[in-house]
Amino acid sequence: MDLKKLYRELVRRNVFRAIVAYLAVSWVLIQIASTLLPVFEAPAYLLEGLIYLLAIGLVFWTGFSWVYDLTPRGIQKTPEAHDTTGTRQLNSKRLNAVIVGAGIAAVLILLAGSFWAGSQWKSGKEFAYNSGFRIAVLPFEDKSDNAEFGYLSEGLAEDVISKLYNISSLSVISSRSTFQFKDTGKSIEQISKELKADIMLIGSYTIYSQNLDVKVEVIDGKNNEILNYASISGNLARMGDVISRIGDNIYWALNITDSEQKINENTVIRETNIEAYKYNAMGKSAMYDNTGQKLEDITRYFQAAIDLDSTYVDPYIGIAEAHIFDVNRGYMSPTEGAQMAKKYALMAEKLNPGSGEVSGILGIIYCLDFDFKNAIPYFEKSLQRSPNFLKTYRWYAFVLELMGDFDRAEALKKKASILDPLNAINDVFLALNYIFQGNLIRAEEVIGTKLSLEPNHKEFLWVKAVLLVEKGLYNEAYEALLKRNYGLETNFIAGYLFTRIGQEDRANVVLNNMLAASEKRYVPPSQIAIVLCGLEQYDRALEELEEAFLVHDQFIGWIKFTSMTDPIKEHPRYISLMEQLDWE
């Protein structure tokens, strides 16, 4: 092939100019779409689809520009021989005009977009779950050589995190992720990289009699530069004052605006019963230590704090969260958990009216009561007042999924991943979001990414099995569960799978195990219903579904979205129950 001759022919036919013009116009279209689509809350795949479509169109446009010319007499086939009629020059001018016009349009769009974004920033109109700086607060180092005050290591860090809940320009990484680095010996750079944190807060404390001396550093996590250092002293009975001054140093180091700080102005700095503070900190530690402590062992710490100081709001929140935590663990029915959590959440609301954290908990309690629509105002208030309260994002996303708003649910789950980056359950929930909306390709991407990093990850092998079930690949799903090597005889997905691969005896073993367990503790009836659907025992499945409705089983969302329960979805009993839920 004569490349020089090909190049001259491409130039003669204005193919290069045509490609540049196409790319310029395409870029303008993409900029317009990327600006307007989010305004109308359009799904992300629309923009991706436009980009793919334009990329495919480029191939056809290149061929078209080789074969045809745009002439004063319209579109005509390009002459095989070189013509000297001026058509080449006229076509070149026209294409140049398109390129220049597209360039001017692009500049105007960029300026308009910058002006719009600036006006949005100035007016404060932004999604409550937008990300700013990502800040991680590590457990404080105890330099007192006194085991009695060891609880302050995590207690101080928890209080600083709570202090930052209300700052919308920060994404405050939860203690569930940051506390994993306690006593690991990892460097600030390593921890910052693993948490994807821009800012790190580290501190230490020393106790002298009843006085507390705290030293804190605000550090740029990327280059290990100290942005602020402070030595703060105070009385143990004025712990709130110490926490407030730590917050002030963070605000100063990160240029947090006065308007954001005003959210905390109504917080009264109160005297703290140090023993009550101790028990509250121990309760939080017990709730998240991953050793499966019983509810009564967790709540006794919070109750001890309340007995010592009945005006201390934190332990009321702690007991409410502990009951919700027990529901999440499957140790308590949602109706029972909601009843107990509500009692203490309302006490917390009375002591601290308008708290974003308490609003989020009340929203969760409404979810546990199957009152999803009334949960939404509480979640919205929580996002406005405490935009870093992790639980709001997870539960609000759950409600939005039930109502079919998968796009905003996805956005909330992605924010939850920012706030708790080391918790795999965030990506499990995200994958399930895609599965429930039928977007199996996106679900497969999330699952595949995680399993490529950790092939034997139990949670993701399980959710992979769920995905494969929805795709009708039952043998492959069974292989995923076998690789997981955990809970095959008690898991409802395994029970359903056994019915699909011709092992009904094993499915009945799973069913009987679940029924036996339900005599001793709470087992979600909707999970039992799924196994019964696999065994084609539809009347019994509907009975379990009715029981799920009575106990406010949160897994009832699975019944709505999974194909495993398709055989009962046309039954009048099913339709009647779903109408009562009023999800739409």
The CATH number of residue 199's host domain is 3.40.50.10610
pLDDT digits (tens, 9 = 90+) for 507-551: 999 999 999 999 988 999 999 999 999 999 999 999 999 999 999
Higher-confidence residue of 1 and 225: namely 225
The DSSP 8-state label assigned to residue 268 in this structure reads: -
pLDDT at 149: 86
Contact 166, 387 (CB under 8 A): yes
For residue 521, tell me if it sits in a domain.
Answer: yes
For residue 338, tell me if it sits in a domain.
Answer: no
Q: Alpha-carbon torsion 537, 539, 545, 550, what sign? A: negative
pLDDT digits (tens, 9 = 90+) for 246-289: 988 888 888 887 555 555 444 555 677 889 999 999 999 888 77
Same domain, 263 and 140: yes
pLDDT digits (tens, 9 = 90+) for 347-406: 999 999 989 999 999 999 999 999 998 999 999 999 999 999 999 999 999 999 888 888
For residue 64, tell me if it sits in a domain.
Answer: yes
For residue 514, tell me if it sits in a domain.
Answer: yes
The residue from 242, 272, 302 where one domain ends is 272
pLDDT band at 24 (very low <50, low <70, confident <90, very high): confident
Contact 467, 440 (CB under 8 A): yes
pLDDT digits (tens, 9 = 90+) for 278-306: 999 999 988 877 667 888 989 999 999 99
Same domain, 102 and 163: no
Same domain, 78 and 143: no
Same domain, 152 and 255: yes
Please state, in angstroms and rounded to a whole number, the distance separating the CA atoms of residues 423 and 457. 12
Contact 528, 511 (CB under 8 A): yes
- Structural domain count of the chain: 3
Structural domain boundaries, residue 215: 133-272
pLDDT digits (tens, 9 = 90+) for 69-99: 655 555 556 665 555 455 556 566 665 665 6
Please state, in angstroms and rounded to a whole number, the distance separating the CA atoms of residues 101 and 483. 59
For residue 566, tell me if it sits in a domain.
Answer: yes
Q: Which of 316, 309, 284 is nearest to 155 (CA)?
A: 284
For residue 443, tell me if it sits in a domain.
Answer: no
The residue from 94, 123, 152 where one domain ends is 123
With H, G, I as helix, E, B as strand and everything else as coil, classify residue 68.
strand
**How many percent of the chain have pLDDT more than 90?**
49
Same domain, 181 and 200: yes
Same domain, 248 and 167: yes
For residue 198, tell me if it sits in a domain.
Answer: yes
Same domain, 75 and 190: no
Same domain, 201 and 100: no
The residue from 236, 251, 272 where one domain ends is 272
Same domain, 95 and 159: no
**Across residues 137-149, what is the average pLDDT?**
87
For residue 380, tell me if it sits in a domain.
Answer: no
Please state, in angstroms and rounded to a whole number, the distance separating the CA atoms of residues 305 and 137. 24
3-state secondary structure 442-493: HHHHHHHHHHHHCCCCHHHHHHHHHHHHHCCCHHHHHHHHHHHCCCCCCCHH
